[in-house]
Amino acid sequence: MSQLNIPYSPEVLWALQEEPAEFEREARLLLALKLYELGRLSSGLAAELAGMPRTAFLFVLGQHGLSPFGEMADELEQDLADARQARRLQ
């Protein structure tokens, strides 16, 4: 497995009021969330990068305002409205 090392100063930990392990865990999660949001990683691979089970990652997506379906709620509502309209036209 490859490894990414990102140097950071103690001031970062002080500003965030976090311990190194806590900061590093959060940084992994935020990287995974962003790569998922951009569509660069699947939820399974993003969960692996974040170091958690996929089911836990899917829950965390909602806590960060992201959809596990790759779309936002308003986009899903529009898709549903479009599907209903198409059905009426048949």
Distance, first Cα to last Cα, the chain: 53
Neighbours of 81 (CB within 10 A): 10
Domain boundaries, the chain: 10-89
Q: What 8-state DSSP symbol labels residue 52?
A: S
Are 81 and 87 a contacting pair, CB within 8 Å? no
Please tell me the pTM assigned to this model.
0.75
Q: 32-39 long-range contacts, Cβ below 8 Å, gap at least 24?
A: 32/57, 33/60, 33/61, 33/64, 33/66, 36/61, 36/66, 37/66, 39/70
- The one-digit pLDDT tens for each residue of the chain (90 residues) are 899 999 999 999 999 999 999 999 999 999 999 999 999 999 999 999 999 999 999 999 999 999 887 655 666 677 678 788 877 877
Give residues with Cβ within 8 angstroms of 23, minimum separation 6: 8, 12, 13, 16
